[in-house]
Structure 1
Amino acid sequence: MQSSARNQFPGTVSHISHGVVTDEVQIRTEHNAQLVATITHGSAIGLGIQAGSQVIAMIKAPSVIVVTDAEGMRFSARNQLTGKVTQVKTGSVNTEVCIDAQGLQVVAIVTNDSATHLGLEPGKTATALFKASQVVLAVRA
């Protein structure tokens, strides 16, 4: 499978809560990180997603929010992966930030101003946040 989503995390569905319109899917990645996706009930049925299913969770880099100094803060984003910045690539407008969090390499795109304001550099602790609704699930055909 080829996709433009920079973040692709294989895992196993550990739990699924079915709703009338949407389902909440909990995924344990190969690196034992826990992710949550909210997908339509029709998609869950169509893809045959159930507990034990192998899935790939995909999140586009611009959908990832980077937070530093998050001690004592709570966020509404269900997916929160804390780790160390491993790479920072500055472009003319945006900066690509890689965070090694729980064995996952999470890529985010932030503005250059945000990267400067947050003091993003290799070795800095940062948290990658993304909403469950921003996670797209794929299954092998």
Structure 2
Amino acid sequence: MRLSIRNQLDGEVTDVIRGEVMGTVRIRLTARTEILAAITLEAIDELGLAVGSPALVLIKSTEVAVAVGPVGLVSIRNQIPATVSGVDHGAVMTTVKLDLAGGQELTAAITREGAEDLGLAAGDEVTALVKSTEVSVGAR
């Protein structure tokens, strides 16, 4: 299957917490990088997600925010350290390529104005921010 979602990251489930209707699934991408996804219990069960399961993390590039410098207290659970590997400015939007520890790549689509305010350039150390409710999960 081919998908239009740019960010497709391989990982392994390390924790599943079940709530009333939704649950959270923690997925390790690398030894130091984990992603938290908030998905329905139905999805957890249908995908057979359990500790140790291989998983595919899917994140739309428009759901990735980029921060420069320390991130203060925020409710966003996924705060992923990354290095900018490329910046491509369009008229309105900018595509930012981010290298994660362990060799995986994340793409952020942010406004050109936001990218210019941050002064992003290749080699910059940044933090990618993704709400757990914006993370989709696939079973491998």
1:72-107 deviation digits (Å, cap 9, x = unpaired): x22211111112211001111100001112233111
1:101 is aligned with what amino acid? L
Counterpart-to-counterpart distance in 1, 2:91 and 2:10:
32
Cross-structure match for 1:89? 88
Distance 1:14 1:106 in 2: 21
- 2:104 matches 1:110: no
Which amino acid letter does the alignment assign opposite residue 22 of structure 1? M
Partner Cα distance (1:98, 1:68) in 2: 14
Q: Percent identity over the alignment? A: 35
| CA distance in 1 between partners of 2:69 and 2:52 (Å) | 36
Deviations 1:112-134 (A, max 9, x none): 11110000111112110001111
Q: Secondary structure at the match of 1:3?
A: coil
Question: Matched residues in 1 for 2:132 and 2:52: separation?
Answer: 19
In the alignment, is residue 43 of structure 1 matched against residue 57 of structure 2?
no
The yes-or-no answer on 1:16 pairing with 2:45 is no
Counterpart residue type for residue 65 of structure 2? I
Deviation at 1:70, TM superposition (A): 2.1
* Aligned-pair Cα RMSD in Å: 1.2
- Work out whether residues 81 and 102 of structure 1, in 8 Å CA contact, stay in contact via their aligned partners in 2: no
Taking the TM superposition and a 5 Å limit, the aligned residue runs for 1:51-130 are 51-70=51-70, 73-103=72-102, 104-130=104-130
What whole-Å deviation, never above 9, does each CA across 1:36-75 have from its counterpart, x for those lacking one? Answer: 101001111111111111110000000001111225x222
Measured in 1, the distance between the counterparts of 2:128 and 2:45 equals: 29
Q: What letter matches 1:8 in structure 2?
A: Q
- In 2, Cα distance between equivalents of 1:115 and 1:23: 33
* Distance across 1 between alignment mates of 2:14 and 2:69: 30
TM-score (norm 1): 0.92
Give the aligned residue type for 2:59: I
Find the residue that maps to 1:45 and give its secondary structure. Answer: helix
Specify every segment of 5 or more residues in structure 2 that has no aligned partner in the other structure, as ranges: none
May I ask how many residue pairs the two structures share in their alignment? Answer: 138
Write the letter of the residue equivalent to 1:67: A
The one-letter amino acid of 1:64's match is V
